[in-house]
């Protein structure tokens, strides 16, 4: 039996000429009018190719199903050399691939700091020389199962949080958050920055490993879900999640057998750093996004990231190929004494949060920081609601109270971005553009449209080759 009902007045979804919608309304029938505009110029053929692929609908369902079903537990803290096999002289960084010559100021600054930290060089001049001479190996964090905030620099000795999906065992990695102010991830490399890195390595990492061993795996996905209902969106605001995490760990920290002074040190460090949890939310996103990789025909975005020079994305259906464009400026609020002229273009892997369905996608959950996007809480609600236009599903676990506990918009679809011109909402920090400065503000990024249209073209080319 046909699914076209010939007996009841239809509810007609209309796209195109308004007069036809009006004519239906005039007949007392219901209309759902689409606010349509043409897709980005020149992409319509690729859109048709991709959506005509017989695998398309199932591929996207499969990919986003894996993304939204993934869960992440925090298991351990281990050196990058051990969990990623990083060698001395090998460095990971945020965003798509980039070399020293094209690296932005903060990334160079972070690499300089990491070279000093690893003992490869004694001073800044030597580090710059080594970097410029091609004496270090660079690779994106994303290519090694890791993610890094801002510059995202990872070197062999750095402690990494190890997260894994309890069902599949697939792992994701991220450094420990250094706190605010002058920190490596914003490109600072002063002696106190290196000193803090050593403290992370020598004090915090082994303490956390001990506590985690005692506590057992920490359910990071569950903490995200709770924090979203407490005013975090887990990208630019992690205050609730960090508090929840600390509450969860404190008993085991106290009973860990560590010296009281060290317990206090660890407690105060996490307690004094609202963004400590960001470095757990991010690898949780990496675990989810990597689970969705390599589904042929799928237009799901599995990586969205910036190295401060370029903004790039990867799709599930296009393998390891990056689709890049110059990194945009961040429209934001600046710390006193800084302004747009001091800002580096968009930087960091932290957009993995938006990729998994939180961060800017869940802005409606975080009214306390909506003024970063230049608006009132109502604007945040609108933004999140608009994100449902370009996502494939609603997250089964992450919910937004203000939207009647609707699941967060999850599974960014490059096809829908290209069709609607609506780009993902991204919240982010702003790094100073000169090496060594650190954070100068925070705000909202408008991702460059061309990466999404290029990705759709790239997917269309693969679809045609497969046909």
Partner 1 sequence: MSAHVEVRAGTYHDSVTLMLASQQVADLPGVRSAMVAMATPLNLEVYERLGFDLAAVATASPNDLVLAVEADDEGSLAAAVSALEVQLTAKAAPSGGAAADAVQPHTLAAALRDGRGTLALISVAGRFAFVEAMDALQAGVSVMLFSDNVSVEQEVLLKDEAARRDLLVMGPDCGTAVVGGVGLGFANSVRLGSVGIVAASGTGAQQVSCLLDAAGVGMSAVLGVGGRDLSAAVGGRSTLAAMKMLDEHAGTDFVVVVSKPPNEAVAEQVLAAAEKMSTPTLVGFVGRGREDLTALSNRALSMLGGNVEPPQEWLVPDRQPQPGFIRGLFSGGTLCDEAMAIAAEALGPIASNTPLEPDWALPADLHDATHLMIDFGDDQLTQGRPHPMIDQTLRLERIAEESKDPDCAVLLLDVVIGHGSHPDPAAELAPAIVAAREQAAADGRDLAVVVCLVGAAGDPQGLERTATALNAAGASVHLSNAAAARVAISLVEGNTR
If one asks whether residue 41 binds partner 1 (CB under 8 A), the answer comes out as no
Rounded to 5 degrees, what are φ and ψ at 322? -100, 145
If one asks whether residue 190 binds partner 1 (CB under 8 A), the answer comes out as no
If one asks whether residue 125 binds partner 1 (CB under 8 A), the answer comes out as no
> Which part of the chain contacts partner 1 (CB under 8 A), choosing from 116-124, 154-162, 245-253, 373-381?
373-381
If one asks whether residue 369 binds partner 1 (CB under 8 A), the answer comes out as yes
If one asks whether residue 254 binds partner 1 (CB under 8 A), the answer comes out as no
How many amino acids of this chain bind partner 1 (CB under 8 A)?
Answer: 70
> Which part of the chain contacts partner 1 (CB under 8 A), choosing from 80-88, 133-141, 365-373, 458-466?
365-373
> Which part of the chain contacts partner 1 (CB under 8 A), choosing from 3-11, 221-229, 321-329, 353-361?
3-11
Q: Which is nearer to partner 1, 162 or 418 (CB)?
A: 418
Q: Which is nearer to partner 1, 139 or 422 (CB)?
A: 422
DSSP single-letter state for residue 403: G
If one asks whether residue 467 binds partner 1 (CB under 8 A), the answer comes out as no
Cα within 13 Å of Cα(209), Cβ side: 14
If one asks whether residue 5 binds partner 1 (CB under 8 A), the answer comes out as yes
Q: Which is nearer to partner 1, 133 or 404 (CB)?
A: 404
Q: Using CB under 8 A, which residues numbered 320 to 339 contact partner 1?
A: 333-337
> Which part of the chain contacts partner 1 (CB under 8 A), choosing from 88-96, 150-158, 190-198, 381-389?
381-389
d(CA 298, CA 50): 9
d(CA 176, CA 193): 14
Cα within 13 Å of Cα(111), Cβ side: 32
Greatest C-alpha distance within the chain? 82
If one asks whether residue 40 binds partner 1 (CB under 8 A), the answer comes out as no
Q: Which is nearer to partner 1, 207 or 439 (CB)?
A: 439
Tokens 């690499």 locate to: 111
> What are 110's strand-pairing partners?
none
d(CA 413, CA 70): 18
Helix (H) or strand (E) holding 43: none
Q: At 25, list the tokens.
A: 């309304």
- 236, 241, 246, 247 alpha-carbon torsion, rounded to 10°: 150
> What are 338's strand-pairing partners?
none
CB of 27 to partner 1, least distance (A): 5
- For residue 228, how far is the Cα from the chain centroid? 16
If one asks whether residue 48 binds partner 1 (CB under 8 A), the answer comes out as yes
If one asks whether residue 20 binds partner 1 (CB under 8 A), the answer comes out as yes
- 177, 180, 183, 184 alpha-carbon torsion, rounded to 10°: 40
If one asks whether residue 423 binds partner 1 (CB under 8 A), the answer comes out as no
Q: Using CB under 8 A, which residues numbered 395 to 414 contact partner 1?
A: 402
The answer to whether the beta carbons of residues 346 and 328 sit under 8 Å apart is yes
The answer to whether the beta carbons of residues 387 and 353 sit under 8 Å apart is no
d(CA 186, CA 325): 21
CB of 15 to partner 1, least distance (A): 5
Contacts with partner 1, residue ranges (CB under 8 A): 1-17, 19-21, 23-24, 26-27, 29-30, 32-39, 44-45, 47-48, 51-52, 57, 180-181, 333-337, 368-369, 371-372, 376-379, 381-382, 385-386, 388-389, 402, 415-416, 419-422, 441
């Amino acid at each position: 039996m046909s699914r076209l009902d010939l007996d009841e007045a239809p509810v007609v979804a209309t796209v195109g000429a308004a007069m036809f919608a009006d004519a239906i309304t005039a007949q007392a029938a219901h209309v759902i009018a689409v606010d349509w505009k043409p897709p980005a110029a020149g992409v319509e053929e690729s859109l048709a190719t991709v959506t005509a692929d017989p695998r398309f609908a199932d591929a996207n369902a499969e990919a986003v199903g894996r993304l939204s079903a993934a869960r992440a537990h925090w298991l351990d803290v281990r050196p990058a050399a051990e969990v990623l096999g990083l060698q001395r002289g090998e460095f990971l960084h945020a965003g798509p691939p980039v070399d020293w010559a094209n690296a932005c100021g903060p990334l160079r600054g972070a690499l300089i700091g990491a070279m000093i930290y690893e003992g490869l060089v004694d001073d800044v001049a030597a580090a710059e020389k080594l970097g410029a001479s091609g004496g270090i190996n660079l690779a994106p964090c994303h290519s090694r199962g890791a993610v890094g905030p801002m510059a995202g620099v990872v070197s062999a000795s750095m402690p990494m949080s190890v997260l894994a999906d309890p069902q599949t065992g697939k792992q994701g990695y991220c450094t420990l958050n250094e706190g605010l102010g002058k920190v490596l991830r914003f490109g600072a490399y002063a002696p106190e920055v290196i000193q803090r890195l050593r403290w992370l390595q020598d004090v915090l990492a082994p303490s956390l490993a001990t506590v985690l061993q005692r506590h057992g795996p920490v359910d990071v996905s569950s903490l995200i879900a709770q924090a979203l209902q407490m005013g975090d969106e887990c990208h630019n605001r992690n205050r609730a999640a960090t508090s929840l995490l600390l509450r969860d760990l404190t008993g085991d920290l106290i009973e860990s057998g560590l010296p009281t002074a060290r317990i206090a040190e660890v407690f105060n460090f996490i307690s004094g750093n609202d963004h400590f949890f960001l470095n757990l939310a991010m690898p949780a996103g990496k675990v989810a996004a990597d689970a969705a990789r390599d589904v042929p025909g799928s237009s799901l975005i599995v990586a969205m990231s910036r190295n401060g020079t370029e903004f790039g994305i990867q799709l599930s259906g296009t393998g390891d190929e990056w689709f890049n464009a110059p990194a945009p400026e961040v429209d934001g609020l600046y710390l006193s004494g800084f302004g747009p002229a001091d800002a580096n273009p968009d930087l960091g892997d932290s957009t993995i949060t938006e990729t998994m369905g939180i961060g800017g996608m869940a802005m409606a959950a975080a009214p306390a920081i909506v003024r970063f996007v230049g608006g009132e809480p109502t604007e945040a609600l609108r933004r999140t609601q608009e994100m449902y236009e370009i996502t494939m599903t609603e997250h089964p676990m992450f919910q937004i109270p203000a939207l009647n506990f609707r699941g967060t918009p999850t599974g960014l679809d490059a096809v829908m971005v290209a069709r609607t011109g609506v780009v993902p909402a991204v919240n982010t920090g702003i790094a100073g553009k000169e090496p060594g400065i650190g954070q100068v503000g925070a705000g909202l990024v408008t991702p460059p449209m061309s990466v999404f249209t290029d990705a759709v073209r790239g997917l269309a080319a693969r679809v045609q080759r497969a046909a």
